[in-house]
Amino acid sequence: MTAPHARAVQPAAVLVGPPGCGKSTVGRLLAGRLGLRARDTDTDVETTAGKSVADIFLEDGEPVFRALEREAVTTALAVHDGVLALGGGAVLDEYTQAALEAYAAAGGQVVFLDVSLAHAAPRVGFNQSRPLLVGNPRARWQALMTERRPVYERLATLRVLTDARTPGQVADEIARALAPAPGAEQAPDPTTADDHPRSTE
């Protein structure tokens, strides 16, 4: 598969991770700290479909949701210049993987918000709004995470553990990681350095 070409406009950061890691909340807080806009592809899908993610799964099926999700991710990566949060399973799509690899290769930051089951459970509540967790929610979450973790880790340029931390603390860590190194912008340009020998007088 050929990866999409790098784009001039890119998100400042793309957040990926499983249900309960805090992508949407951290995304909003991080966007606020950076003075940017937050965007969530699940929200984009719901807007396009005119119904909730849970209803799309129930009425139309997962393949329809994944097609809508792929389009939402592609569009957001192309036009959004703020902080972008992806749905937990978006990274399983091969085209989305290629798009994220191209984004990272062009200097973008793919942030994997990692979380353990013990800390994800109380955050998610494992309710009916998460269709892939219906049945035995904890077992389903663990199975999903086992499947997705290698992909999250491969695509990520930054991993942040969210266990026992507030969304604000996580957003602060990411903001620090995204900040340019002190003095980086003041580094001299080697192409304009003075090549003439200095006077010894």
Say what percent of the chain tops pLDDT 90: 61
Answer yes or no: is 173 within a domain.
Answer: yes
Answer yes or no: is 197 within a domain.
Answer: no
Range of the domain at 107: 13-179
CA 126/CA 133 separation, integer angstroms? 7
pTM over 0.85: no
Answer yes or no: is 74 within a domain.
Answer: yes
C-beta of residue 91 within 8 angstroms of C-beta of residue 148: yes
Answer yes or no: is 160 within a domain.
Answer: yes
> How much is the average pLDDT of 178-194?
52
Report the domain count for the chain.
Answer: 1
Q: At 56, which CATH number?
A: 3.40.50.300
Amino acid at 170: V
CA 23/CA 29 separation, integer angstroms? 10
Identify the pLDDT of residue 19. 83
How many Cα atoms sit within 13 Å of 23 on the Cβ side?
26
Answer yes or no: is 33 within a domain.
Answer: yes
Answer yes or no: is 195 within a domain.
Answer: no
Predicted confidence band of residue 190 (pLDDT cuts 50, 70, 90)? very low
Q: What is the mean pLDDT of the chain?
A: 83
Identify the pLDDT of residue 16. 97
DSSP string, the chain: -PPPPP-SS--SEEEE--TTS-HHHHHHHHHHHHT--EEEHHHHHHHHHTS-HHHHHHHT-HHHHHHHHHHHHHHHHHH--SEEE--TTGGGSHHHHHHHHHHHHTT--EEEEE--HHHHHHHHTT-TT-GGG-SSHHHHHHHHHHHHHHHHHHH-SEEEE-TT--HHHHHHHHHHHHSPPTTGGG---GGG---SPPP--
Could you tell me the two tokens for 128? 């009916």
Identify the pLDDT of residue 9. 54
Answer yes or no: is 199 within a domain.
Answer: no
pLDDT in tens, 121-166: 766 655 545 555 555 677 777 888 898 999 999 999 999 999 989 9
Around Cβ 84, how many Cβ atoms within 10 Å? 29
Could you tell me the two tokens for 67? 């097609």
Say what percent of the chain tops pLDDT 70: 77
170 to 132, 163, 165: CA distances (angstroms):
26, 10, 7
Q: Determine if residue 97 is left, alpha or beta; phi over 0 gives left, psi from -120 to 50 gives alpha, anything else beta.
A: alpha
Answer yes or no: is 20 within a domain.
Answer: yes
Identify the pLDDT of residue 122. 67
pLDDT in tens, 28-40: 999 999 999 999 9
Identify the pLDDT of residue 143. 85
